[in-house]
Amino acid sequence: LFQCHSNLRNRGSSLCDIAILVVDIMHGLEPQTIESINLLKSKKCPFIVALNKIDRLYDWKKSPDTDVAVTLKKQKKNTKDEFEERAKAIIVEFAKQGLNAALFYENKDPRTFVSLVPTSAHTGDGMGSLIALLVELTQTMLTKRLAECQELRAQVMEVKALPGMGTTIDVILINGCLKEGDTIIVPGVEGPIVTQIRGLLLPPPMKELRVKNQYEKHKEVVAAQGVKILGKDLEKTLAGLPLLVAYKDDEVPVLKDELIHELKQTLNAIKLEEKGVYVQASTLGSLEALLEFLKTSEVPYSGINIGPVHKKDVMKASVMLEHDPQYAVILAFDVRIERDAQEMADSLGVRIFSAEIIYHLFDAFTKYRQDYKKQKQEEFKHIAVFPCKMKILPQFIFNSRDPIVMGVVVEAGQVKQGTPMCVPSKNFVEIGIVTSIEINHKPVEVAKKGQEVCVKIEPIPGESPKMYGRHFEATDILVSKV
């Protein structure tokens, strides 16, 4: 699912100062791992590698309270051999990605080599070494970033409804401080939302924000950490954009304009095609994920929007009915479709596909395109002209004029009933239309390359009949008039 979640990795890598990249020692670098590496490289974000699942090594003896380097030395020879073999293979995989890597206890140059820390989330092995290395690197390499900054910097990551609490937003507080009662401005589907913080929730110590927990309420939260915010009117909040705080009333309109400008800038940066589908998603992050998926699947998109599907969205999508009807489609990802919008779509002939999973949405659209293509092929089958090249068999001239009936051999392409024929060597004179094809006195619809057939060529309506021997000879090649 790395294509679908790369947008979250992208936004996360933009925020973090240092990262821990988790690599399964049993599987090595997987597609989502390489995606994460590329994002970290593009953001120039330093990282260390947790070489996880060492407990899966055969005959592993756990010792979570000991330095993992010491624990490795105490393992049986077969376990150590397996570890070294797998670690070396992963180091080679990192080299293929243009990165030098080394086990942390062998790494003498952390600025040049990425440190690999063997860990086990299951047994706890290596966790102490991982945290110690993280602290050491931040103190030696990121000294300036450790300096406290009072200017608020926060980003909305998710919008969630919690039982008994209503709609909440998960926010990463990077710098500054948030207090209960603060007036906040967050991006919304219908414009910036101004509300007050009713509660700041943090999970208990050693628990993750994304996991369901009994949250602890705080009056004040200081960076840097993830926090869940309670407030009114958060239902239509857009994830993926900054959260701003207004300390004075006159700051509110200025900050609202700032958020509107940032959203417009983000959407305008997305390159649209002249012909393509109309894409709608619930959040900026999910929109980016869907667009990235469509891009890799070579599906063009000509319009985008965030939030529920309204009549105005249907109107924009209906433009494709004039240009390319197969793209008169709205792909609605995890959004509500208003009833009047659906009614308008039905009356105009715009198709709306809705799903909560990207792959389901893509599959439905792919099936629609295939069905549309088959339908058009059936519609135009009788007028479709296929390229073909025929050589005349002079010993089989049964009728030389109106209709011309003769034996031919198909040298290239295929001949179908209804194919107009011409003679290139005689200034492309049109001799008529193939109305009948026979092989061994049996009628067929199509004759393919290499087949000897008898064809009946009737005059084009409104034109004088052409004659074999006068308008063309046995030495002339006949081709279809495409």
Which DSSP state fits 467?
A: B
Which DSSP state fits 328?
A: -
pLDDT tens across 308-353, in order? 888 999 999 999 888 888 889 999 988 888 899 999 999 999 999 9
Do residue 129 and residue 37 come from a single domain? yes
Could you tell me if 350 and 317 are in contact, meaning their C-beta atoms sit under 8 angstroms apart? yes
Q: What is the model's pTM? A: 0.56
Residue 2 clears pLDDT 60, i.e. is over it:
no
**What is the CATH number for 47?**
3.40.50.300
**In sequence order, what are the beta bridge partners of 481?**
none
Per-residue model confidence (pLDDT) at position 1:
31
* The domain boundary residue, chosen from 248, 265, 282: 265
Do residue 357 and residue 421 come from a single domain? no
Do residue 64 and residue 131 come from a single domain? yes
**In sequence order, what are the beta bridge partners of 175?**
153
Do residue 374 and residue 393 come from a single domain? no
**Nearest Cα to Cα of residue 19 among 146, 144, 154, 114:** 114
d(CA 214, CA 155): 23
Do residue 338 and residue 415 come from a single domain? no
The order of strands in the sheet holding 47-52 is 19-24, 47-52, 114-118, 101-103
| pLDDT bucket at 464, cuts 50 / 70 / 90 | confident
456: Cβ contacts below 8 Å, ≥ 6 apart: 403, 404, 405, 434, 435, 436, 437
Is residue 134 packed enough to be buried (19+ CB in 10 Å), middle (13-18) or exposed (0-12)? middle
Do residue 303 and residue 192 come from a single domain? no
* The domain boundary residue, chosen from 323, 352, 379: 379
Instruction: Report the percentage of the chain scoring pLDDT > 70.
Output: 93
Containing 101, the helix (H) or strand (E) segment is strand 101-103
Do residue 29 and residue 72 come from a single domain? yes
Containing 297, the helix (H) or strand (E) segment is none
pLDDT tens across 9-56, in order? 444 445 677 889 999 999 999 887 887 888 788 778 889 999 999 999
Which DSSP state fits 447?
A: E
Q: Which two tokens stand for residue 249?
A: 């009333």
d(CA 221, CA 172): 11
φ and ψ at residue 404, rounded to 5 degrees: -80, 125
| pLDDT bucket at 76, cuts 50 / 70 / 90 | very high
State the residue range of the domain holding 308. Answer: 270-379
φ and ψ at residue 315, rounded to 5 degrees: -60, -45
Residue 306 clears pLDDT 90, i.e. is over it:
no
Instruction: Report the percentage of the chain scoring pLDDT > 90.
Output: 32
Residue with tokens 């030395």: 73
**What is the CATH number for 440?**
2.40.30.10
Do residue 206 and residue 85 come from a single domain? no
Query: Would residue 442 be called left, alpha or beta, if left means φ above 0 and alpha means ψ between -120 and 50 degrees?
Result: beta
Do residue 49 and residue 36 come from a single domain? yes
Do residue 220 and residue 277 come from a single domain? no
Range scoring the smallest mean pLDDT among 15-19, 182-186, 320-324, 378-382: 378-382
pLDDT tens across 82-94, in order? 999 999 999 999 9
Do residue 134 and residue 6 come from a single domain? yes
Could you tell me if 330 and 309 are in contact, meaning their C-beta atoms sit under 8 angstroms apart? yes
Residue 145 clears pLDDT 80, i.e. is over it:
no
- How many structural domains are present in the chain? 4
What's the average model confidence in pLDDT over 82-111?
Answer: 93
d(CA 210, CA 236): 20
Mean pLDDT of the chain: 85
Range scoring the smallest mean pLDDT among 256-265, 323-332, 397-406: 256-265
Per-residue model confidence (pLDDT) at position 462:
73
Range scoring the smallest mean pLDDT among 31-35, 247-251, 406-410: 31-35
The DSSP bridge pattern shows strands 351-355 and 404-416 to be unpaired
Containing 216, the helix (H) or strand (E) segment is strand 216-218
Do residue 356 and residue 431 come from a single domain? no
* The domain boundary residue, chosen from 313, 345, 379: 379
Q: Spell out a b/e string for 447-473, using b for 16 or more CB atoms within 10 Å of the CB, else e.
A: beeeeebbbbbbbbeeeeebebeebbe
Residue with tokens 């996360």: 12
